[in-house]
Amino acid sequence: MSPRAEIGIFGGSGFYSLLPDVREVKVDTPYGPPSDSVMLATVEGRKVAFLPRHGRHHTLPPHKVPYRANVWAFKALGVQAVISPCAAGSLQKEFEPGSFAVCDQFVDRTSGRADTFFDGPIVTHISPAETYSPLLRKLAIQAIKDNGIPCHESGTVVVIQGPRFSTKAESKWFTSMGWEVINMTQYPEAYLCREMGMAVVNISLITDYDSGVVSGTDAVTAHDVLEVFKTNSERIKKVVLDMISRMPEDLSVYGGSAGLQFSRGDGHAATPEDIRIFEVLS
């Protein structure tokens, strides 16, 4: 079956609501249903898949998002590059609400989430050292700047379990470690994309100062996050569509599958006859 999508976007209905000829498809996966149907559309001549990670009516809290099903669905549709915007809190004063951060690292503080496709029988270790594609990050940074949005070109996102926010003690700890932003969904989503051989980039939309520790403001509330996110959501749509228009014809340049070359732990040399999970769906 020929690919029905090249580029995947984890985002809400705002991304595709104004696009013509949007098609809704349901994708069965070995990990149950994804968060919602996948919306397929053509953007700037490119085949794009949109999937709201929390469901179209935002009914799935962060710890209940079916991350493996979502990522598998993208891979099954032929996606090679994934853009993964998310709302995030700031842990450092210079990361002001309303700005965007293109993160290059994550710290996992979640628990109990199904976070790998490789449950055996062949042990496989995928390095997360460069989870986020450097070339996709460069593209995102340029698109953000060209749209006049304050941009932090790197940063570490701390991923907490949710749905609760951090205590002041936790927030103070994260800040003291030098980490920049905090979110509830980047892990295992981004890492699973890497396991499936898809290049991925994160754009963190800064909505607040986490727990008010850094700025001396009041502790964050869901209402505060949503108010700033409304403004950010309009701007991220422009950035994402701009990124799509700039992507090269050959998306393999982003190196999505490069990290999988030397990841098997069964002690045998790789041969052309080997069949890997991510290759079966290619």
According to the model, what pLDDT value does residue 204 have? 96
Mean pLDDT over 200-225 rounds to: 77
> 100 Cβ partners below 8 Å, 6+ apart?
144, 149, 150, 151, 152, 203, 204, 205, 206, 232, 235, 236, 239
pLDDT at residue 123, as a whole number: 82
Q: Is the pLDDT of residue 85 over 80?
A: yes
Here the tokens at position 65 are 């998002």
* Stretch among 71-85, 111-125, 181-195, 203-217 having the lowest mean pLDDT: 203-217
- 100-116 in b/e burial notation, b at 16+ Cβ within 10 A? bbbbbbbebebeebeee
Query: Which residue is catalytic, options 115, 119, 210, 218?
Result: 210
- Does residue 222 register a pLDDT over 90? no
The stretch 238-251 carries a mean pLDDT of: 95
Residue 191, classed as helix, strand or coil, is: helix
Known active-site residue 208: yes
Note the pLDDT of residue 265: 65
The DSSP call for residue 14 is: G
% of the chain beyond a pLDDT of 70:
85
- Map out the domains of the chain as residue ranges: 7-253
Q: Which residue has the higher pLDDT, 225 or 89?
A: 89
Higher pLDDT, residue 149 or 217: 149
pLDDT at 63 over 80: yes
Residues 6+ apart with CB under 8 A from 87: 183, 204, 205, 207, 225, 229, 232
Question: What's the confidence (pLDDT) of residue 155?
Answer: 97
The pLDDT of residue 273 is 67
Any alpha helices (H) in the chain, and if so which ranges? 67-76, 134-146, 168-176, 186-195, 222-246, 277-280
Interval 5-54: pLDDT, tens: 999 999 876 777 767 789 999 999 999 999 999 999 999 899 999 999 99
Q: What integer pLDDT is reported at residue 215 of this predicted model?
A: 61
**pLDDT exceeding 90 applies to what percent of the chain?**
70
- Give DSSP secondary structure letters for 193-243: HHHTT-EEEEEEEEEEEGGGTTTS-PPP-HHHHHHHHHHHHHHHHHHHHHH
State yes or no: is 108 an active-site residue.
no
Q: Bigger pLDDT: 257 or 114?
A: 114
Is there a contact between 75 and 278 (Cβ–Cβ < 8 Å)? yes
Q: Among residues 21, 208, 218, 250, which one is catalytic?
A: 208
Per-residue confidence band for 3, with pLDDT thresholds at 50, 70 and 90: low
User: For residue 261, what pLDDT is reported?
Assistant: 74
Q: Residue 44's closest CA among 200, 254, 241, 251?
A: 241
Task: Give the predicted TM-score (pTM) of the model.
Answer: 0.91
CATH T-level assignment (fold) for domain 7-253:
Rossmann fold (3.40.50)
